Structure 1
Amino acid sequence: MPTALSDHLRRSWRGYAASAVALLLGLLPERPGVPDGRHLEAILARDFISVHTRNTPTTYYLGRQGPTGFEYELMRRFADYLGVSLTLDASHNIPEVIEAVRRDGDLGAAALPLDPTRQGVIFSRPILDLRPLLVYRRGLPPVKRLDDLDGLAIATLGGSGTDLVLRELQAEHPGLSWQESTDLEVAELLGRVEDGTLDAAVVFDHQFRLNRLFFPGVERGFELGEPLSMAWAFPAGRGLGLVEAANRFLDELREGGELDDLMARYFGHDDYLEYVGARTFINHVHQRLPTYAELFREAARNTRFDWKLLAALGYQESHWDPEATSPTGVRGLMMLTLPTAGELDVDDRLDPEQSIDGGARYLRSLKERLPESITGDDRLFMAMAAYNVGLGHLYDARDIAEMRGGDPDRWADVREALPLLQEREWHSKTRHGYARGGEPVIYVRNIRRYYEILAYVDRSQQQFHRLNARLPDEQESGVLELIPPIM
Structure 2
Amino acid sequence: MKRIFQIAILFFMLLLFGVQCTFFQKEEEVSFWEEPVLFDLDEIKKRGYIRAVVDNSSTSYYIYRGRRMGYEFELLRNLASNLGVRLHLIVKSDIEEAFILLNRGQADIIAMNLEQTPIRINYANFTLPLGEMSTVLIQRKSKASIGDFQELDQKSIYIPQGSIYKDQLCFLNQDSTFVLNVVEVAESREELITKVVKGEIDYTVADKDLALVNATYYNELDVSVEVSEKSPVSWAVRTNAPQLESAINDWIFKRTRSGYLATLYAKYFLNSKNSYYRNNSAFSSLAGNKISAYDDIIKKAADKLGWDWRLLASLVYKESGFDAEATSYAGASGLLQLMPVTLDRFGVEDPNDPYQSLMGGVNFLGYLDKFWRERIPESNERIKFILASYNIGHGHVEDAWRLTLKYGKNPQHWEHVSHFLKLKTDPEYYRDPIVKSGYAKGHVAVTYVEDILILYNSYRVLVEP
In structure 2, the residue matched to 1:325 is none
Please, what is the CA RMSD of the aligned residues? 4.1
In structure 2, the residue matched to 1:263 is 265
Q: How many residues align?
A: 269
Question: Against the structure 1 CA distance between its residues 91 and 200, is the aligned structure 2 distance closer, same or farther, given a 3 Å change threshold?
Answer: closer
In structure 2, the residue matched to 1:73 is 74
In structure 1, the residue matched to 2:119 is 117
Tell me if 1:139 matches 2:146.
no
After superposition, what is the alpha-carbon deviation per residue over 1:389-438, rounded to whole angstroms, capped at 9, x for unaligned? Answer: xxxxxxxxxxxxxxxxxxxxxxxxxxxxxxxxxxxxxxxxxxxxxxxxxx
1:23-42 alignment, distance < 5 Å: 34=38, 39-42=40-43
Give the Cα–Cα distance (whole angstroms) in 2 for the partners of residues 40 and 464 of structure 1. Answer: 32
Give the Cα–Cα distance (whole angstroms) in 1 for the partners of residues 293 and 194 of structure 2. Answer: 29
In structure 1, the residue matched to 2:202 is 199
Question: Against the structure 1 CA distance between its residues 153 and 180, is the aligned structure 2 distance closer, same or farther, given a 3 Å change threshold?
Answer: closer
Give the Cα–Cα distance (whole angstroms) in 1 for the partners of residues 249 and 52 of structure 2. Answer: 16
In the alignment, is the contact (CA less than 8 A) between 1:156 and 1:202 conserved in 2?
yes
SS across alignment from 1:132:
strand
Give the Cα–Cα distance (whole angstroms) in 2 for the partners of residues 187 and 221 of structure 1. Answer: 18
Amino acid in the other structure paired with 1:246:
I
In structure 2, the residue matched to 1:87 is 88
In the alignment, is the contact (CA less than 8 A) between 1:191 and 1:215 conserved in 2?
no
Shift of residue 253 of structure 1?
0.8
Percent of aligned positions with the same letter in both sequences? 23
In structure 2, the residue matched to 1:443 is none
Q: 1:189 aligns with which of 176, 188, 192?
A: 192
In structure 2, the residue matched to 1:61 is 62
Shift of residue 180 of structure 1?
2.8
In structure 2, the residue matched to 1:160 is 163
SS across alignment from 1:52:
strand
SS across alignment from 2:210:
helix
In structure 2, the residue matched to 1:106 is 108
In the alignment, is the contact (CA less than 8 A) between 1:162 and 1:204 conserved in 2?
no
Tell me if 1:244 matches 2:237.
no
In the alignment, is the contact (CA less than 8 A) between 1:161 and 1:228 conserved in 2?
no
Structure 2 alignment gaps of length 5 or more = 1-32, 283-287, 298-322, 327-457
Q: 2:213 aligns with which of 203, 206, 210?
A: 210
Give the Cα–Cα distance (whole angstroms) in 2 for the partners of residues 269 and 178 of structure 1. Answer: 35
After superposition, what is the alpha-carbon deviation per residue over 1:290-316, rounded to whole angstroms, capped at 9, x for unaligned? Answer: xxx9xxx9x9559x9xxxxxxxxxxxx
After superposition, what is the alpha-carbon deviation per residue over 1:123-150, rounded to whole angstroms, capped at 9, x for unaligned? Answer: 1111121211012112133422222323
Give the Cα–Cα distance (whole angstroms) in 2 for the partners of residues 463 and 90 of structure 1. Answer: 9
1:69-468 alignment, distance < 5 Å: 69-91=70-92, 93-104=94-105, 105-118=107-120, 119-238=122-241, 240-270=242-272, 300=293
In the alignment, is the contact (CA less than 8 A) between 2:124 and 2:238 conserved in 1?
yes
Question: Against the structure 1 CA distance between its residues 127 and 273, is the aligned structure 2 distance closer, same or farther, given a 3 Å change threshold?
Answer: closer
In the alignment, is the contact (CA less than 8 A) between 1:48 and 1:84 conserved in 2?
yes
Could you tell which deviates more after superposition, 212-221 or 68-77? 212-221
In the alignment, is the contact (CA less than 8 A) between 1:138 and 1:194 conserved in 2?
no
Question: Against the structure 1 CA distance between its residues 29 and 193, is the aligned structure 2 distance closer, same or farther, given a 3 Å change threshold?
Answer: closer
In the alignment, is the contact (CA less than 8 A) between 1:48 and 1:86 conserved in 2?
yes
In structure 2, the residue matched to 1:473 is none
Give the Cα–Cα distance (whole angstroms) in 1 for the partners of residues 129 and 275 of structure 2. Answer: 31
Give the Cα–Cα distance (whole angstroms) in 2 for the partners of residues 29 and 135 of structure 1. Answer: 36
Give the Cα–Cα distance (whole angstroms) in 1 for the partners of residues 93 and 194 of structure 2. Answer: 21
